[in-house]
Amino acid sequence: MLNNKNKLTPILNQIMQRNVGEKEFHQAVHEVLGSLSPVITRHPEYADDALIERLCEPERQIIFRIPWIDDNGQVCVNRGFRVQFNSALGPCKGGLRFHPSVNLGIIKFLGFEQIFKNALTGMPLGGGKGGADFDPRGRSAREIMRFCQSFMSELHRHIGEYTDVPAGDIGVGGREIGYMFGQFKRLTNRYETGVITGKDLLHGGSHARTEATGYGAVYFFERMLATRGHSLEGQRAIVSGSGNVAIYTIQKLISLGVKVIACSDSNGFIVDEAGIDIDLVRKIKEQHRSRISEYAKLKGSSVKYVADRSIWDVPCTIAIPSATQNELTDDDARTLVKNGLIALGEGANMPCTPEAVHIFQEAGVLFAPGKAVNAGGVATSALEMQQNASRERWTFEETENNLSKIMHNIHDLCYETAEKYDMPGNYISGANIAGFIRVAEAMQALGVV
Ligand code: GLU
């Protein structure tokens, strides 16, 4: 074990030196490589031919200019990214994020995570990610459309059903996917539905894709709780965020008898002790594209809106952070443990800092990483691709059924892999090792490419 740790250390050092300043990427690589020494001990062949070094270097990275014109006639310039990280298991697959924080390091962290997440789904998907440092907040629908068109004017030459298939992420939902698909179609003169997922039902989208990440997270969570004899019914939950992942996580939790008492946006959070009214949250966020503080205004004094504290100060038994990376710190983790948290599943990608994760593990809290918990979104994207390829449309129930089976399989694969490698209950190691093994075998079988 020690030897293999030593073997991985120089690789890790080289990655840090070669990717200066990309701190989220470093964090993600540390987390995955930190799990791999037991597997390299048992299977030294997985590290042959510089496999780990190849795995940590994207196949291709595209950075491009996005000029567009705002409603005042001003020319604006943003920076676009697409990182095609690994295509050993299938075409690169992963979302597009539009957020002012986007930079190469963030896209690489997300693309790297996506490789293992996609491998865990068991579907034929490689890993990739993209986006732009564009802030959609306060932009009109016309501005969003012009931006998406300019973004796709460059991206279209790099993607394709057999190459790389984008989808949504933070700041990119059904509306943006529609604008981008429209521009792709215009530029290529091809109605190639399999080139992008998260499409509207009218353009070859899949039932349950919108709900998939949130519903999938709950299916995973339910199964994880059962390993310790707990059930969802009667739990008191906090789900941070109020975007696509949070909304459908909350909706599913409520339908299974959970009381969800708090959610948030980047300005603050609401606490509704009567249980969140998810239809109202949806109306505020999906229809009005407004702030979560509206919820408190509309509900009156029974609801608290808090802008100057952490949502994780509110006591709960289960937590699903579903906002963004590193939103939950070591202080938050200590507070949650003190307040009686029994389980946490990451709905967002890497929402807990490494220090917070360590505290949960020391305290014996059930903990599952984003690459397993939130894989239902990309898994349903794969179902959308399947329907596009066969020109079929499955019912909502059929699609959701498939999703729940995939999530249960992911859970069991992580759980069993952790047991097999003598780390029972450690879903981080289970997810990293199981995902790695699939990718490593696929890469080795393709030769040095
Ligand atoms: N952005 C989502 C994720 O983080 C979905 C990606 C996709 O459907 O391709 O997994």
List 181's β-bridge partners, or say none.
none
Phi first, then psi, for residue 244 (nearest 5°) are: -55, -45
Q: Please check the confidence at residue 3 and state whether its pLDDT lies above 70.
A: no
pLDDT band at 1 (very low <50, low <70, confident <90, very high): very low
Average pLDDT of the residues in 6-26 = 94
Q: Please check the confidence at residue 151 and state whether its pLDDT lies above 70.
A: yes
Q: Please check the confidence at residue 280 and state whether its pLDDT lies above 60.
A: yes
**20 vs 120: CA distance, rounded Å:** 29
pLDDT band at 2 (very low <50, low <70, confident <90, very high): very low
Q: What is the CA radius of gyration of the chain?
A: 21
Measured in Å, residue 335 CA sits from the centre of ligand 1 at 30
How buried is residue 234: exposed, middle or buried, by Cβ count under 10 Å (0-12/13-18/19+)? exposed
| pLDDT score for 145 | 98
Measured in Å, residue 94 CA sits from the centre of ligand 1 at 5
Please report which residue ranges of 189-256 form alpha helices under DSSP H: 209-226, 244-255
List 94's β-bridge partners, or say none.
166
**381 vs 148: CA distance, rounded Å:** 20
| pLDDT score for 408 | 98
Please report which residue ranges of 343-395 form alpha helices under DSSP H: 354-362, 370-373, 376-390
- Which mutation among 381, 383, 385, 407 tests ligand 1's pocket best, with the greatest number of atoms within 8 A of CB? 381
Quick: pLDDT tens for 393-412.
Answer: 999 999 999 999 999 999 99
List 75's β-bridge partners, or say none.
69
Atom in ligand 1 nearest the alpha carbon of residue 166: 9
Quick: pLDDT tens for 222-252.
Answer: 999 999 999 999 999 999 999 999 999 999 9
Atom in ligand 1 nearest the alpha carbon of residue 117: 10
Q: Please check the confidence at residue 29 and state whether its pLDDT lies above 60.
A: yes
3-class state of residue 72 by DSSP: coil
- From the candidates 93, 108, 117, 129, give the one annotated as an active-site residue: 129
Of 421, 431, 420, 441, residue with least CA distance to 48: 441
Measured in Å, residue 61 CA sits from the centre of ligand 1 at 18
C-alpha distance from residue 291 to each of 206, 244, 307 (Å)? 28, 14, 12
Atom in ligand 1 nearest the alpha carbon of residue 349: 4
Average pLDDT of the residues in 278-300 = 96
- Which mutation among 114, 164, 199 tests ligand 1's pocket best, with the greatest number of atoms within 8 A of CB? 114
Q: Please check the confidence at residue 86 and state whether its pLDDT lies above 70.
A: yes
- Which mutation among 213, 385, 410 tests ligand 1's pocket best, with the greatest number of atoms within 8 A of CB? 213
- Among 3-12, 76-85, 114-123, 206-215, the least confident range: 3-12
* Cβ atoms 207, 371 nearer than 8 A: no
| pLDDT score for 5 | 61
Quick: pLDDT tens for 96-140.
Answer: 999 999 999 999 999 999 999 999 999 999 999 999 999 999 999
**159 vs 152: CA distance, rounded Å:** 10
| pLDDT score for 7 | 80
117 is an active site residue: no
| pLDDT score for 4 | 60
* Cβ atoms 200, 178 nearer than 8 A: yes
Atom in ligand 1 nearest the alpha carbon of residue 375: 10
Measured in Å, residue 383 CA sits from the centre of ligand 1 at 13
Measured in Å, residue 374 CA sits from the centre of ligand 1 at 9
C-alpha distance from residue 247 to each of 102, 198, 284, 436 (Å)? 23, 16, 11, 31
**119 vs 432: CA distance, rounded Å:** 10
Distance of CA 321 to the CA centre of its chain: 11
State the pTM of this model: 0.97
Please report which residue ranges of 50-173 form alpha helices under DSSP H: 51-55, 104-120, 141-155
Within 10 angstroms of residue 412's Cβ, the number of other Cβ atoms is: 13
Distance of CA 414 to the CA centre of its chain: 17
Residues with CB under 6 A from ligand 1: 93-95, 117, 167, 169, 197, 349, 377-378, 381
